[in-house]
Structure 1
Amino acid sequence: MNELHNGTWVLVADSEKALFLENVADAQNPHLVVIREEEQENPSDRSQSANRPGRMQDTGVQQRSALDDTDWHELAKERFAAELSEILYKKAHRGEFDRIIIACPPQLLGELRRDLHKEVSSRVVGEVHKLLTNHPLDKMEAILKEELEAA
């Protein structure tokens, strides 16, 4: 069943970019328009790290172990999911949308699910577990329609 009715919002996101879209047509021939775009710069972990991982003495004679360094790139991804959740909460609270479909890779979807307020999660009418941010809008419309009809 296709949940992409007129007025339904669609969040298309990856770990660095998000598009907030609205379907201004019907479910059979969706036409998505961009409402808002969010982007975060998230360079590789190597370029965000200040120094090499530390080392510590082990219990054995002249033994040392490497310490894990913070994965700044991964932290930025998690922060972005939390930011998206907060934006959605504010928009839902203001009544800007009644229905939303979330389209993003499975890992980000899991982070979003964890962070979504119940006021937003109660409005989620569909999920598409795919990376769509690199597609043009017409291709996104076709993929979303196909995925939602197959569900």
Structure 2
Amino acid sequence: MLDKPIDYKTWILVADGEKALFMENIGDGELPNFEIRRVEEQDNPPSREQGANMPGRMSDGGTAHRSAVEDTDWHELGKERFAADIAEMLYKMAHRGRFEKIVIVAPPKILGEMRQQFHKEVEAKIVGEIAKDLTNHPLGEIEKLVAA
């Protein structure tokens, strides 16, 4: 969570596994005013639409028994890849000096995936993290929830 209000010019990333909103606070800590700077979206259909094969089977040994092998969750892999892509975008933006401070807002699992991918240059600029999914909220509501 955040310990203090979001300063002027602080960036806010609101992301989930399929959409990312890059915003900048053009207001101040008392009256935040988030302006969208960039939107990234990924088309990530459900796993049933991505996988073409039946789940695998393997032999249990010398007997005639066979066990099913869990199928790959392509939808979840897509979310993880998107989190890594967002972390890479943040690195490029930080390296070019696009932001000095940033707040990361994402569901816990996606936040964890991004944390594993963050470059030290990005980590040094993170001033807060919020483990919530706010990507489908209106901008005014995001401002209220993040500022609270």
Query: In the TM superposition, what is the alpha-carbon distance from 1:63 to its structure 2 partner?
Result: 0.4
Question: What is the correspondence of 1:46-61 to structure 2 with a 5 Å cutoff?
Answer: 46-61=48-63
- The match for 2:106 is 104
- The match for 1:15 is 17
Number of residue equivalences: 146
CA shift digits 1:28-64 (9 cap, x unpaired): 1000000000000111111111111121222142101
Equivalent position amino acid for 1:62 in 2: A
Query: In the TM superposition, what is the alpha-carbon distance from 1:3 to its structure 2 partner?
Result: 3.9
Query: In the TM superposition, what is the alpha-carbon distance from 1:107 to its structure 2 partner?
Result: 0.7
Query: What is the DSSP-based 3-state SS (H/G/I as helix, E as strand, rest coil) of the residue aligned with 2:92?
Result: helix
CA shift digits 1:82-138 (9 cap, x unpaired): 000000000000001000000111111111111000000100001111111111111
Unaligned runs of 5+ in 1: 147-151
- The match for 1:93 is 95
* 1:29 equivalent in alignment to 2:38: no
Question: What is the correspondence of 1:1-151 to structure 2 with a 5 Å cutoff?
Answer: 1-146=3-148
Query: In the TM superposition, what is the alpha-carbon distance from 1:68 to its structure 2 partner?
Result: 2.0
In the alignment, the residues of structure 1 paired with residue 71 and residue 26 of structure 2 have an alpha-carbon distance, to the nearest angstrom, of: 47
In the alignment, the residues of structure 1 paired with residue 118 and residue 80 of structure 2 have an alpha-carbon distance, to the nearest angstrom, of: 13
- RMSD across aligned positions (CA): 0.9
**Contact 2:45–2:75 (CA under 8 A) maintained in structure 1:** yes
Equivalent position amino acid for 1:2 in 2: K
**Contact 1:103–1:129 (CA under 8 A) maintained in structure 2:** yes
TM-score by length of structure 1 reads 0.93
TM-score by length of structure 2 reads 0.95
